[in-house]
Each structure stands twice: as C-alpha cells, then as structure tokens.
Chain A
C-alpha cells in the first residue's frame, strides 16, 4: 500500500520562506505531486517531480529525493493569499496513471 506523511500545520509571516515536507511509502513510484486548496475551494495543481532535484515555478519550488522517499514544497516571499492547505500525492503503481493517493494535507497560515 501507500502512505504519505506531512506536517498538519505550519505558520509563517508574510515575506518569509516556508518548507512543507512529505515522506512517502509506495509499492511503486512514478512521481510526487503537490496541490493547493483554499478553504471552501477545490484542489489545484501546483507541481510535479518525477526525477530527483528541484523544480521551480515562480515563488513555488518542489524538490524530490527518490532514494530518501522524500520531497518538499518551498514557498518563497509568502503572501497572505498563500494561506491554504497543501497536499502531496503519489500515483499508485497497481492502479496506474489515474490512481492518485493524497497525504492528509498541511495547513499553512500566513500572518502579517
């Protein structure tokens, strides 16, 4: 089976940098995805890592270490609008492309 662990809550101030970690256990591994969800809204895709290293998209970056079964999402120059829940997700090898398994989420609170 699969399991993903991420911190339940993170707090930071505007302008700061925050890192949200995710460790995973899977029977097979295709890659690690990150999604953002604001309260009352739907999840939206942020990034995907299939290979080791850092992927940068504007203020957000995502890192993967396959050997450590570990990844993180890095948010820079935090803004109030970044207050949301962030989920890491992996694909299930047995189910193939579409069977995406999510972590429980990290709630980020950004304060002035």
Chain B
C-alpha cells in the first residue's frame, strides 16, 4: 500500500491564482481531512469528509473548497490564492479499522507570492 499520497510536493503561486492540491489514499478509509501547518501554530483543520459525497468545514475553511466524489480522493482547491495561504498542507485519512490513528500524507509546501 502507498498509504496517503499528496501532489505536488512544492508549489509556488502568484496572488490570485487558483490551484488544486491532490490527496489520495489506498486504505479504503472513510474519513479524510485537510490540515494546514504554520510555524508555531500546530495543525489546523481546514475541511474534512466522513465519506464519499459528504464534506464539512473545519477550523479555517475560508478560501478553500473540497469535494469527495470517491473514497480514495479528496482534493483541496484554493480559489484565489493569497499570501496568507502560504503554509504546509497535510492530508490525513482514517477509518474504523485504524482506530484512533490518523495517517498523514507527506505534505505539500505552498508559497504564495
């Protein structure tokens, strides 16, 4: 199993550009989440999903959209990038059989100029 994969690893955007961060998992997990991590602020939940077709907002959802058309994929869309969205983005997944464990992807480092 590849676990949780994220693409791209690095991305530089200009203010106002849009892009999609990809996340996929091959563990048949129902639950998937997106977090952003800024220095000294830990991980903050952006959006999450409890299954295909079901998504909800986390702590910091503004400026981001998500959709969950399949169990495997959970893309995060930045609608109009802003410098405040410069961060490291992590995708995570979990399921009933993984207990309390959330499995994280390797992260995407995003710089918005």
> Count the A residues whose beta carbon is within 8 Å of the partner chain — how many?
23
Contact partners of B48 in chain A: CB under 8 A: 95, 98-99
Residue of A nearest to B104 (CB): A42
Contact partners of A41 in chain B: CB under 8 A: 106
Q: Is the CB–CB distance between A87 and B33 below 8 Å?
A: no
A window 69-112: CB within 8 A of B = 87, 89, 95-105
Contact partners of A96 in chain B: CB under 8 A: 50
**Does B53 interact with chain A (Cβ within 8 Å)?**
no
The contact of B43 among A31, A45, A87, A98, by CB within 8 Å, is: A87
Q: Is the CB–CB distance between A99 and B90 below 8 Å?
A: no
**Does A29 interact with chain B (Cβ within 8 Å)?**
no
Chain B's interface: helix, strand, loop or mixed, by majority?
A: strand
Give 1 or 0 for each of B30-64: 1 = CB within 8 Å of chain A CB. 01110100001111110011100000101100000
- Inter-chain CA distance A28–B45, complex, in Å, is 18
Contact partners of A97 in chain B: CB under 8 A: 31, 50
- Inter-chain CA distance A50–B100, complex, in Å, is 10
Residue of B nearest to A106 (CB): B42
Q: Is the CB–CB distance between A8 and B90 below 8 Å?
A: no
Q: Is the CB–CB distance between A104 and B40 below 8 Å?
A: yes
Contact partners of A87 in chain B: CB under 8 A: 42-43
Q: Is the CB–CB distance between A98 and B100 below 8 Å?
A: no
**Does A44 interact with chain B (Cβ within 8 Å)?**
yes
Q: Is the CB–CB distance between A101 and B59 below 8 Å?
A: yes
**Does B28 interact with chain A (Cβ within 8 Å)?**
no
List 15 A-B residue pairs with CB atoms under 8 Å apart, sorted by A's residue number. Answer: A41-B106, A42-B90, A42-B104, A43-B92, A43-B102, A45-B100, A45-B102, A96-B50, A98-B31, A98-B48, A100-B102, A101-B45, A102-B42, A102-B44, A105-B42
Question: Which residues of A come within 8 Å of B, CB atoms?
Answer: 8, 31, 33, 35, 41-45, 48, 87, 89, 95-105
Question: Which residues of B come within 8 Å of A, CB atoms?
Answer: 31-33, 35, 40-45, 48-50, 56, 58-59, 90, 92, 94, 99-107
Minimum-distance CB pairs A-B, first 7: A48-B100, A42-B104, A98-B31, A104-B42, A102-B43, A45-B101, A102-B42
